[in-house]
Structure 1
Amino acid sequence: MTSDKSVGSGISEPTPNRLYLAVWRWHFYAGIYVLPFMVMLALTGLVILFAPQIEDVQYRQMMFVSSQGQMQPHTAQLEAVRRAYPEATLQRFRPTNAPNRSAQVALEQNGRELTVFVNPYTLAVLGEVDNASRWENIATSIHGTLLLQKEVSLPWVGKVNLGDLLIEIAASLMVLLVVTGLYLWWPRDRRGVYGTLIPRFSVRGRTFWKDLHSVPMFWVSGAVLFFALSGLAWTGIWGDRYVQAWNTFPEQMWNDVPKSTQNLESLNRSGEKLVPWNLENSKLPVSGSMAGKDGIPAGTPVNLDTVIQYVRDNGVNYGFWVALPQGKEGVWTVSASSMSRDVTDARKDRTLHIDQYSGKVLADIGWAQYGLGAKAMAAGIALHMGTYGWWSQALNAVFCLLILLASAAAVAMWWIRRPAGVFRLAAPPMPKNLPLWKAAVAIILVMVVLFPAAGATLLLVLLLDFLIVQRIPAIRRALG
């Protein structure tokens, strides 16, 4: 980085140095907002990532059984839960996919969403778990909405969840944070690998913490971009209006099947996904017509046993949920999804709708029916959640831990740099005579188009910085 010229010389500060200071200032402002969210997302992400292992230990007495000969019919397992919960609405059934695992029934009773475990050999009801108390669901709710229920109305957008909006702004600003961070990281003094690709553990003070911040973030910068972009697929503005609207399943593929007014998203429960992300906006078909393709053979009773047998005979020989028909027009919906950890590979996603009367298949949707965008997002979300197996869990865990390390180092860098004994934000100074405002405005306009929530926030911060911070000495001193 070029050194400053003296003020009395009449020579202006070289552009590279001024640009560095301007980028540092934007990186600092974005980091103030993003860092708490980044820490929260990394911590809750670790809980979500290892939720299967956590629950295997936490609910071991209910989730595992001893093999005791022949398994009872699935209808008998479901009926055992129905007898134990006569006032409940049974919603879906998950058959065991291993000899030592219990079956699960999701139900709703007195406003509570419960998962009940049943021994498939003895039909003994082993216990229940309140959906609201599961670590994964709590972490997922924090991860997605900060547990906030408040909605806000935005121009041209409508109502969105406040917590979702705040997280969307943070995830969008992560893109800016990575780009500006890479610019600041770029070596300018021809130093070697130490301090650039490997931290200098022999140094002390702010340089030590700078290395612990910049080097890990360089190595995980691609992962941060990936997590931010794939996570945005769930958000209320970028996800619903930009991504999901263009990458849903083409319903015209089943135009000859009558549909209800309900979306498949209605099959999900709080904190739990039953259907794949790209099918949530599709309409549920209805039972009672002669539409559909041959499924369960004519003359065979259409019940839980025959539905499960049919899907297993037709390639779904791994974990899945069966949503029970609700009402006279309801259908059997079988879903094996990487989002609900039924499969470890998004390419095995499968969703079937079966008429509750005729047993005809009203829709059979798999990877081959997904569009290119839907395939990319389905695979991306599976990677985001670490459902591809132990290696993806381990890799995601390393990313989360490095992000936490870099975040802690960023706070330490600021603490050391801030003026002692006074309360100041100590933001990097805005260089004078910076002839780059047109480029800054262009970047913000691009952000507005690509990431509306973050772009609007940047525009607001730019206006506040220009109209208030730079013009009121007391505020400028407090922030600078």
Structure 2
Amino acid sequence: MSVPFQGSAPAAMRGRARPLLREAVYRAVWRWHFLAGLLCLPFLILLAATGALYLFKAEIDATVFAHRTLVVASGAPLGPDRLVYTAMQAVPEGVPISYTEPSGPEASALVTMNVGGERTLVFLDPYRGDVLDALPAAREFSGVVRRLHSLTLFGPAANLVIEIVAGFAVILVVTGAYLWWPRGQGGGVVSIRETPRRRVWWRDLHAVTGLFAGAGLLFLALTGLPWSAWWGQELRAWSNAAGLGQPRQLWADRPVSTVPMRAVLNEPGWTMQDAPVPRSEPRAAPAIGLDRAAEILRAMGMPAGFELALPLGETGVYAAAAYPRDVTRQRMISLDQYTGESLVDVRFPEIGPVGQAIQLGIGLHKGEFWGRANQLAMLVFCLATLLLSVTAGVMWWKRRPAGRLGVPPLPRDRRVMAGVTALMLGLGAVFPLTGLAILALIGLDLGVRALLRPRGLRPAAHSA
């Protein structure tokens, strides 16, 4: 004899189903958070450590490398022509590429030389003309730190890994926010339970740190992406094509070369990297010379510390760029090498809104825009990222089974896992290289499970 359900039974079943669904979603999100963290952990540590160092580039240069960056002001400085000539005497096998004006009365001048296709930096006393130091650009400290930060130290293709990591960092923040969300627990929201001997202490420290540092990590990831090899290049190309980056009207009816600004200037800025270098009209008259070009630029109000590239060939120009700590004062000027006429003069307000937003973001990312407060805020985010990485590693070590990786188990309801994975792929569509990495992880996961299934093996389940 069958007993009919009472009216309250379906409601009771629904009441039990909701916690089961929440647990399934939690486990699916936790699994993706773990996989993203496992992939990113060593790179996040590298990015945080090198980023913290680069924030204090000026301070490191003024202390550790003061012998080549600081001078004693005395009388009138020598002209750029004289300093470039001295650099050529110091590096006779090199060809001068650019001259960088001292950024202040006690700062050294810099001449960049091309030596066999590689750049050599020559630091000079602008008052006495003494060579303070000469070294390959590849060995200059802040340059090494910067290339480590972008992984370009290991080749151009390595920068693609940073792009993948930045995309996964976004996933870590989004999934971490879901895992942190209060569910009636007594700790781990804004307080820390137990002692460092217990895994829950590390879990709570990780969660509370993520609460306060998650927004900073997200900001650093998003503002670092424009410098990435593929996504950043595509964003720049799209913004320029849409008229939201380079002010193309400034090049209208002007002869330009096929050489991009990044080929002649060390720092052309994110928006102007692909801008074409203008052309000088060949004339019988001689070039105006470096001294006169620098004088014209100073008269035009170019910020101190600007870089001035020498003309390449009879159609070359004097291309100059200044990127001071105040992003809004950024400027790029190209002068006709024969007449000194300004061919292109790009100020920050003339850049499109996408270009402005990204260069502001980059300035904040590098701790340059709001002075010491900006610098210290970015340092806190770097240190918090290191703490998040350490606590994640300790948590994993404490919960992993002996001899196993300890990947969080799949939820019983595979539809929940499929739904959460679809959301991850949605984020991957915004960052395609990350999306490809997600597909690779899915393929690897399915492959491993297919290999284990015939042997009757399955990953050990562990509670969160």
Q: Which consecutive residues of structure 2, in runs of 5 or more, have no partner in the other structure?
A: 1-15
TM-score w.r.t. the length of structure 2 is 0.88
1:279 pairs with 2:272: yes
Whichever residue aligns with residue 301 of structure 2, its letter is G
Partner of 2:161: 166
- Matching residue within 377, 382, 385 for 2:358: 377
Partner of 1:217: 210
Q: Which residue of 2 aligns with 1:293?
A: none
Which residue identity does 2:351 align to in structure 1?
Answer: Y
CA contact (8 A) 2:296 2:340 kept: no
The alignment's C-alpha RMSD in Å is 2.5
After superposition, the Cα gap between the structure-2 partners of 1:84 and 1:415, relative to the gap in structure 1 and judged at 3 Å, is: closer
2:385 and 2:306 mapped to 1: Cα distance? 34
* Aligned pairs for 1:128-277 within 5 A: 128-145=134-151, 147-149=153-155, 161-189=156-184, 191=186, 195-200=188-193, 204-247=197-240, 248-268=245-265, 273-277=266-270
Whether the 8 Å contact between 2:104 and 2:304 is mirrored in structure 1 is no
Does 2:26 correspond to 1:20?
yes
Could you say which residue in structure 2 is the equivalent of 1:450?
430
- Structure 1 unaligned regions, length at least 5: 1-9, 150-160, 291-298, 338-342
Provide closer, same or farther for how the CA distance between residues 317 and 12 of structure 1 changes in structure 2, counting only shifts above 3 A.
closer
- Count of residue pairs the alignment pairs up: 439
Taking a change above 3 Å as real, the CA distance of residues 234 and 244 of structure 1, as seen in their structure-2 partners, is farther
SS of aligned partner of 1:472: helix
- Structure-2 change in CA distance of 1:476 and 1:238 (3 Å): farther
Is the contact between residue 213 and residue 381 of structure 2 (CA under 8 Å) also seen in structure 1? yes
Partner of residue 354 from structure 1, selected from 335, 353, 377: 335
Alpha-carbon distance between aligned partners in 2 of 1:138 and 1:300, rounded to the nearest angstrom:
39
Q: CA deviation at 1:134?
A: 1.6
SS in 1 for 2:128: coil
What is aligned with 1:153? none
**SS state of the match for residue 132, structure 1?**
helix
Q: CA deviation at 1:212?
A: 1.7
Q: Are the structure 2 counterparts of residues 364 and 53 from structure 1 closer, same or farther at C-alpha, using a change threshold of 3 Å?
A: same
Partner AA of 1:265 in structure 2: R
> What letter corresponds to residue 142 of structure 1 in structure 2?
L
Q: Write the distance in 2 (CA, Å) between the matches of 1:479 and 1:356.
A: 72
Residue range with higher mean Cα deviation, 127-136 or 361-370: 127-136
Deviations 1:77-134 (A, max 9, x none): 2222233333311011112232222211111224442211222222222221321112
Q: Which has the higher relative contact order, 1 or 2, with Cα contacts under 8 A spaced 6 or more apart?
A: 2
1:344 aligned to 292, 308, 325, which one? 325
Q: Is the 8 A contact 2:271 2:359 kept in 1?
A: yes
Change over 3 Å in CA distance of 1:11–1:403 after alignment to 2: closer
Segment drifting more, 441-450 vs 101-110: 441-450
Give the deviation of 1:63 after TM superposition.
1.9
| Aligned residue in 2 for 1:92 | 98
| 1:306 equivalent among 269, 292, 305 | 292
Report if the CA contact (8 A) 1:51-1:135 is conserved: no
Q: Secondary structure at the match of 2:271?
A: helix
Report the CA distance shift for 1:267/1:479 in structure 2 as closer, same or farther (over 3 A).
farther
User: Which of 92, 107, 125 is 2:113 aligned to?
Assistant: 107
Cα 1:447–1:475 change in 2 (3 A) is farther
For residue 243 of structure 1, report the CA deviation from its aligned partner: 4.2
Partners of 1:56 and 1:475 lie apart in 2 by 63
Alignment of 1:121 with 2:127, yes or no, is yes
Amino acid at match of 1:253: L
Q: What is the 5 A alignment of 1:401-412?
A: 401-412=383-394
Counterparts in 2 of 1:87 and 1:404: CA distance versus 1, 3 Å: same
1:466 to 446, 455, 461: 446
SS state at 2:319 partner: strand
CA, structure 1 residues 301+470, in 2 after alignment: closer, same or farther (shift >3 Å)?
Answer: closer
| DSSP-derived class of the 2:403 partner | coil
AA aligned to 1:328 is E
1:47 and 1:135 in contact (8 A); partners too: no
Tell whether the 8 Å contact from 2:28 to 2:420 is kept in structure 1 after alignment: no
Indicate the residue corresponding to 1:429 in structure 2: 409
Q: In the TM superposition, what whole-angstrom CA distance separates every residue of 1:146-172 from its partner, at most 9, and x where no partner exists?
A: 5323xxxxxxxxxxx431122211110
Deviation at residue 438 of structure 1 after TM alignment: 5.3
Compared CA separation, residues 68 and 370, structure 1 to 2 (3 A)? same
2: distance between equivalents of 1:363 and 1:313? Answer: 16
Give the CA deviation at 1:220: 1.1
